[in-house]
Structure 1
Amino acid sequence: MIYFDHAATSFPKPKEVGEAMLEAVNEYGANPGRGGHFLSKKAGKIIEETREKLMDFFSAPSANHVWFYQNATMALNQAILGFPFEEGQHVVTTAFEHNSVLRPLNRLVEEKRIDVTYVEPDENGLITTEAIRMVVTPHTRMIAVSHASNVTGALIDLKAISDIAKQVNAVLLVDASQTAGTIPISMEEQGIDLLALAGHKSMLGPQGTAVLISKQDYGLKPLITGGTGSHSELPEQPLQWPERYEAGTLNTPGIAGLSKGIDEINEVGIESIYKHEQELMRSCLEGLKRLEGISFYGPTDLTKRLAVLSFRLEQIGSHELAIILDEHYKIGVRAGLHCAPRTHHSLATIDTGLVRVSFGPYNTKEEVETFVQAIEEIVTAFQ
């Protein structure tokens, strides 16, 4: 099968990822941090080594500032719902956000009576720095942005937005689920305060892994409390990091696999991965533009977007097209609203949805050519 759904999760994974997970289950499947015996220490060592790799990968202040979660949704919920907002305080976010940001913010509007401003894209499909600057106020406590849209791939200038956040003493929360592993990210250089990301997308790790990295102590309240393996005598969650934000048993096999995903990115080179995926997107876009009846969405300047291509055919619905590609051509794509309803409202596609094609490091130009040919055949059949 040709797999073009990397924005949802990357596939296939490097073989070392699965091997590391199997080794964790079969050879040291003990509970990390919950015992002083050899196997527990081995599991704990793998987790700490992965923390350190993530610290280096994203220029985090310390490995203890790297916290593991089941998915990016949980990481973002911890950052947003755990933040010490007070009634009347303000959050700036964008129309490009995933429901993992939109729904927690909506909950805070209802429960804490905060105010939220949603910045819309400009005529070029971009969220501009100036648009964000115009809506921040002295009451703005957080600016929450996706590094790139999961629908259009549109990128955002994190450093410029960080500068705006610092001017009003706000915290910059970045959802890097789409960019981590394919675009270099430095918390230090780009001024990121809270960085959330999925381990199973461009980081090439398995599902069930995600990370929240906190630059410093923002007074986040732990959303989940319970066992930490240390300070068990305390009636409340300990203050010590990372235990404060990691109640319960961690996903040791998943984290071991994520570690090997990071190794693969470092070996291939993140710049090479980005270049390869961009070339595939350009080739796909050029091929599809020769056909009639296709509407494309996202920045026309391809240097300002990821290798994510969303489109719609006039003759056929998005879901039906995805089914045809799957059942007749063995090509996997994503159709629908992509858990980003405000994005589709902005694009005026909330009623139709879009077909999204997203590329990964192991896709080939030949696969792109096969896809373009399939779309050409479908377009011809419906004329």
Structure 2
Amino acid sequence: MIYLDNAATAYPKAPGVARSMYDYVEKVGATINRSSYASAQEAGLVTLTLRERLCRLFGHPDPTRAVITPGATAGLNMVIKGLLRPGDHCIVSSMEHNAVMRPLMQLEKEGVSFDRAPCDKEGRLELEKLPGLIRENTKLVVMAHASNVSGTVQDAEAVGKICAEHGIPFALDAAQSAGHMDVDFGRFRLSALAVPGHKGLLGPQGIGALLLDAQFAEKLTPLIAGGTGSASDMEELPGWMPDRFESGTMNLPGIYGLETALRYIEERGIADLEAHERRLTRRFLDGLRSIKNVRLFGPYDLSARTGVISIGFIRRDNADAAWQLERDFGVLTRCGLHCAPSAHKTLESWPEGSVRFSIGYANTEADIDGALEAIEATSS
């Protein structure tokens, strides 16, 4: 098997993730913020350690504003629906995932408007056009850092600078960049950063984080209200962080798993992980150049992309080709529109979609060579 679907979820997970989750379920079992016995205190300490690791990884100053979420989609909904009200305006790019677009489409029916900042045919934001989209009622800019279709990376630092100059909050969807490259909350001048735990962070599904700026957090209305284990004498939500955004029982198995994954990332280093994936991405892209009857969607320029690589088969139906890649060669990919119809329209891969190969930390040169041989055999 050659697993090249890491943009959907990383496989295998970081060493120790499964063991730490098993140990929590079998040996700890307690929840946090509810009791003071030893196992509950241990769970609370692991949760705090996770928040601290998230802050170190993403250049965020305050662990109390590292909110634990079910994933990036939940975090983005917390930002978009927690902030925007009828009459407000939002700016996105034309490369967004449905985790951004579907909440906005819901809010559009309630009087929220939005504009798509144009991107070129390789998915790169036409940065000079962004300021012209800003209105008096623009309350948010939210964008994907890296495309889940083409791997195209946007200049988040430049976008953050424009937003800061106009006093507009900037929220970044780092679903495809977190764990793959440097993502810096302060340098990007972010108001919010949404990350999933199960992709580049190498943890389990069902866990993620939303890192917030202090002033921006005060503007958000929590989507979910309920018990937090704190201020139990009140029927109002507590106003302090992170409790205000963490109602209900926390996903402790996920917290233990993600904390272990981030420990691995800290020990190995983002720079090493990025260098490994870049080497393999270059090998893949170089190999694609010599294969006929396939088309790359996105840039060949390694500095402008991640290891998410989408191609179209010119003489074959993409779905049929993806099926053959698995059946005959054991190459696992993702075929279709990848929950990002706007991105595919921008890349001119609509409506056929593409076959996506996404490289992860555990892939090898042999995986890349095997995938290229399979593509060549399948494309004819």
* Mapped contact 2:122–2:297 kept (Cα < 8 A): no
**Offset of residue 128 of structure 1:** 2.9
What TM-score does the superposition give when structure 1 sets the normalisation length?
0.96
- In structure 2, the partner of 1:202 is 200
Please report the RMSD computed on the Cα atoms of aligned residues, expressed in angstroms.
1.3
Residue 123 of structure 1 deviates from its aligned partner by 4.6
In structure 1, list runs of 5 or more residues that go unmatched.
none
Report the AA paired with residue 57 of structure 2. Answer: F
The residue identity in structure 2 corresponding to 1:281 is: T
Task: Check if 1:159 corresponds to 2:169.
Answer: no
Give, in angstroms, the shift of residue 217 of structure 1. 3.2
> Which residue is equivalent to 1:169?
167
Aligned residue pairs total 378
Distance verdict in 2 for CA 1:268–1:378, change over 3 Å:
same
Of all paired residues, the percent bearing the same amino acid is 34
Deviations along 1:221-246, one digit per CA (max 9) or x if unpaired, are 11111110011122221112111101
How far the C-alpha of 1:362 sits from its partner, in A, is 1.1
Aligned amino acid, residue 360 of structure 1: G
1:51 corresponds to which residue?
51
Counterpart Cα distance in 2 of 1:235 and 1:274: 47
Q: In the aligned structure 2, how far is the partner of 1:257 from the partner of 1:338?
A: 26
User: Are 1:128 and 1:156, in contact at CA under 8 Å, matched by a contact in 2?
Assistant: no
Letter in 1 for 2:103: P
Contact 1:96 1:342 in 2 (8 A): yes
Q: What is the aligned partner in structure 2 of residue 281 from structure 1?
A: 281
Distance in 2 (alpha carbons) for counterparts of 1:143 and 1:295? 32
1:263-322 CA distances to partner (integer Å, 9 max, x unpaired)? 111222211111111111111122122121111111232211111110011121111111
The answer as to 2:230 corresponding to 1:230 is yes
Please list every run of at least 4 consecutive aligned residues from structure 1 whose deviation after the TM superposition is greater than 6 angstroms.
none
> What pairs up with 1:7-46 in 2 under 5 angstroms?
7-46=7-46
Once the two structures are TM-superposed, the CA of residue 125 in structure 1 deviates from its matched residue by 3.1
SS in 2 for 1:254: helix
Deviation larger for 195-204 or 298-307: 298-307
TM-score by length of structure 2 reads 0.97
Equivalent residues of 1:119, 1:131 under 8 A apart? yes
**SS of structure 2 residue aligned to 1:190:** coil
How big is the shift at 1:339? 0.5
- Whether the 8 Å contact between 2:123 and 2:343 is mirrored in structure 1 is no
User: Who is 2:354 aligned against?
Assistant: 354
Counterpart amino acid of residue 228 in structure 1 = T
Secondary structure in 2 matching 1:371: helix
Partners of 2:272 and 2:50 in 1: CA distance:
23
Could you tell me which amino acid in structure 1 is paired with residue 271 of structure 2? E
Quick check: 1:127 aligned with 2:129? no
* Alpha-carbon separation, structure 2, partners of 1:124 and 1:146: 15
CA-to-aligned-CA distance 1:132-152 (integer Å, 9 cap, x gap): 122112321111010011101
1:78-118 deviation per Cα after TM superposition (whole angstroms, max 9, x unaligned): 011011x343221110111110100111111111x122001
What is the alpha-carbon distance in structure 1 between the residues aligned to residue 74 and residue 118 of structure 2? 25
How far residue 76 of structure 1 moved from its aligned partner, in angstroms, is: 0.7
Looking at structure 2, the residues matched to 375 and 86 of structure 1 have their Cα atoms a distance apart, in angstroms, of 48
Query: Any conservation in 2 of the 1:203–1:261 contact (CA below 8 Å)?
Result: yes
CA distance in 1, matches of 2:14, 2:153: 27
Determine the C-alpha separation between the residues in 2 that align with 1:351 and 1:124: 16
Is the CA contact 1:7–1:178 (under 8 Å) kept in the aligned structure 2? yes
